[in-house]
């Protein structure tokens, strides 16, 4: 815990934030500094850098979240805490993406401060004196034998001290593929997208967060992926990044876990892993499990685009809308959510279930992926994903268009002729009539 805390907030909330900070950190030096630029200069001059910052509402100049993000980016503060009046889910999501440690509402900060004061007062309560016994009851005045305390040897096992990673400027986009039910084609879409991106010359980091039963590695014909559970106690990310499994040209895979029971223990790694991959590769694609675990929720919060996949089976749209509502509650901005209709009839516009508006899907862009048929399933189930690029059917065409439109919206479309054409292509392709097919055959 830092011994020095700077407090930067507007005059209106100055006393409230200062008193709460003093209550939470009674032994620390609290410094009131209302000017954000002055705090940055003071942190820069400190040697060593052992100070933290609380950024409150109505700071002078930029918005509070921008001030906090700038302090995190500078890297001179031990911890940056953001306090808002009533921070929205979108604001919390922005804070997570910027690397801000904690986000409090002003009310929550006061409650935490009150609990800290109560705990401190409990420690200071006087202890009750032991009752004196009559001298006639004392029959044994020999001193009790004192056992020599056993000195325990310090543990040689290293304590995990993995620092929080921060996304660099110009880092790769993180695209998460999720759904509300199984069997809709999430893994197939992630696999095909990785192949298209690699074909365009991008270095792709593929992460399988279906940690209990993911099978992306088998689609590429690899015996097993990188077991993320092995790195739970890892002190640095270097070994984890180096342990990725190369499954194809320009494609490296992380995940799942070799033992399903260890899946939830990987959650502390997810944030740093995805950020580090984003800083190292050109594109990060994340496949997820049907059930939204902690790992899936963390990935959704930090991603640049969340693709929610559904098909036309009964109840599919309702499941997708529930996922979208959950994503919004987790702080994912509605503008980062995109809908993907899997196994879509790309020769028809009349799929009315695709245009239903639900919570979280009001601003979602619609993407469509054609049914790949038996051929796609057989290639993936036998570990021949590389052979997908040799196919020219509707499935590969529409998955290419999906990826190109996502990257184009993010401003990260590669300068590749094939990618540029796909970004402007139309999903709907009318089926050819009988005489047109006859002319082709002739």
What the chain holds in terms of domains, given with CATH numbers, is 2-112 (3.40.50.2300), 172-422 (3.40.50.300)
Q: State the pLDDT at residue 123.
A: 46
Q: State the pLDDT at residue 129.
A: 40
Q: How confident is the model at residue 253 (pLDDT cuts 50, 70, 90)?
A: very high
pLDDT(297) > 90: yes
Closest CA to 371 of 397, 390, 352: 397
Q: Higher model confidence: residue 139 or residue 178?
A: 178
pLDDT(89) > 90: no
Least confident of 149-158, 229-238, 263-272: 149-158
What's the rounded mean pLDDT across residues 31-43? Answer: 89
Backbone CA torsion sign across 319, 325, 331, 334 = positive
Q: How confident is the model at residue 127 (pLDDT cuts 50, 70, 90)?
A: very low
pLDDT(232) > 70: yes
Q: How confident is the model at residue 254 (pLDDT cuts 50, 70, 90)?
A: very high
pLDDT(186) > 60: yes
What's the rounded mean pLDDT across residues 217-222? Answer: 96
Average pLDDT, the chain: 84
pLDDT(161) > 70: no
The 10 Å CB-count burial string (b at 16+, else e) for 308-346 is bbbbbeeebbebbbbbbebbbebbbbeebbbbbbbbbbb
What's the rounded mean pLDDT across residues 89-115? Answer: 83
Q: State the pLDDT at residue 396.
A: 96
Continuous H helices in 75-168: 89-98, 106-123
What's the rounded mean pLDDT across residues 304-315? Answer: 90
What's the rounded mean pLDDT across residues 67-83? Answer: 89
Q: State the pLDDT at residue 23.
A: 86
Q: How confident is the model at residue 125 (pLDDT cuts 50, 70, 90)?
A: very low
Least confident of 183-187, 209-213, 342-346, 432-436: 432-436
pLDDT(235) > 80: no
Instruction: Give Cα 251 distance to the centre of its chain.
Output: 20
CA distance 282 to 273: 15
Q: State the pLDDT at residue 245.
A: 96
Q: State the pLDDT at residue 227.
A: 94
Q: Which residues contact 31 (CB under 8 A, 6 or more apart)?
A: 4, 5, 6, 7
Q: State the pLDDT at residue 418.
A: 96
pLDDT(41) > 90: no
What's the rounded mean pLDDT across residues 127-137? Answer: 42
What's the rounded mean pLDDT across residues 89-108? Answer: 85
Classified as helix, coil or strand, 326 is helix
Instruction: Give Cα 351 distance to the centre of its chain.
Output: 32
Pairing of strands 337-344, 365-370: parallel
Q: State the pLDDT at residue 205.
A: 98
pLDDT(135) > 50: no
CA distance 92 to 100: 9
Q: Higher model confidence: residue 146 or residue 345?
A: 345
User: Over pLDDT 70: what percentage of the chain?
Assistant: 81
User: Over pLDDT 90: what percentage of the chain?
Assistant: 49
CA distance 55 to 172: 28
pLDDT(246) > 90: yes
Q: State the pLDDT at residue 48.
A: 64
Least confident of 79-83, 124-128, 230-234, 259-263: 124-128
Q: Higher model confidence: residue 206 or residue 147?
A: 206
Q: State the pLDDT at residue 2.
A: 60
């Amino acid at each position: 815990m830092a011994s020095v805390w700077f407090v930067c907030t507007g005059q209106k909330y100055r006393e409230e934030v200062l008193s709460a900070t003093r209550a939470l950190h009674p032994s620390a030096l609290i410094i009131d500094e209302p000017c954000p630029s002055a705090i940055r200069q003071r942190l820069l001059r400190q040697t060593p850098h052992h100070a933290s910052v609380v950024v409150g509402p109505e700071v002078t100049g930029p918005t509070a979240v921008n001030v906090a993000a700038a302090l995190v980016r500078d890297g001179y503060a031990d911890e940056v805490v953001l306090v808002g009046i009533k921070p929205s889910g979108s604001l919390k999501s922005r804070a997570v993406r910027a690397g801000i440690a904690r986000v409090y509402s002003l009310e929550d900060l006061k409650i935490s401060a009150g609990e800290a004061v109560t705990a401190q007062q409990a420690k200071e309560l006087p202890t009750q004196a032991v009752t004196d016994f009559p001298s006639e009851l004392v029959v044994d005045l020999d001193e009790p034998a004192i056992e020599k305390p056993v000195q325990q040897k310090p543990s040689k096992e290293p304590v995990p001290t993995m620092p929080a990673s921060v996304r660099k400027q110009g880092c790769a986009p993180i695209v998460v593929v999720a759904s509300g039910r199984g069997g809709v084609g999430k893994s197939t879409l992630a696999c095909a997208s990785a192949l298209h991106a690699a074909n365009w010359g991008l270095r792709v980091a593929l992460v399988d967060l279906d940690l209990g039963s993911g099978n992306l590695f088998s689609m590429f014909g690899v015996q097993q992926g990188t077991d993320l559970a092995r790195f739970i106690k890892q002190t640095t990310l270097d070994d984890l990044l180096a342990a990725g499994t190369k499954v194809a040209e320009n494609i490296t895979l992380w995940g799942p876990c070799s033992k399903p029971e260890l899946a939830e223990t990987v959650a502390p790694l997810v944030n740093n892993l995805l950020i580090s991959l984003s800083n190292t590769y050109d594109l990060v694609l994340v496949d997820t499990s049907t059930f939204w675990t902690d790992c899936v929720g963390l990935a959704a919060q930090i991603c640049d685009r969340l693709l929610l996949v559904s098909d036309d089976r009964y109840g599919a749209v309702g499941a997708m809308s529930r996922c979208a509502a959950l994503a919004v509650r987790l702080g994912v901005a509605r503008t980062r959510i995109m809908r993907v209709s899997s196994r879509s009839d790309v020769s028809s516009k009349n799929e009315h279930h695709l245009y239903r508006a639900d919570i979280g899907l009001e601003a979602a862009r619609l993407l469509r992926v054609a049914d790949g048929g038996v051929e796609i399933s057989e290639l993936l189930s036998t570990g021949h994903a590389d052979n997908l690029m040799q196919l020219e059917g509707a499935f590969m065409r529409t998955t290419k268009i999906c990826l190109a439109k996502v990257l184009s919206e993010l401003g990260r479309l590669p300068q590749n002729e094939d990618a540029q054409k796909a970004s402007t292509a139309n999903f709907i392709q009318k089926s050819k009539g009988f005489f047109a097919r006859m002319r082709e055959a002739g």
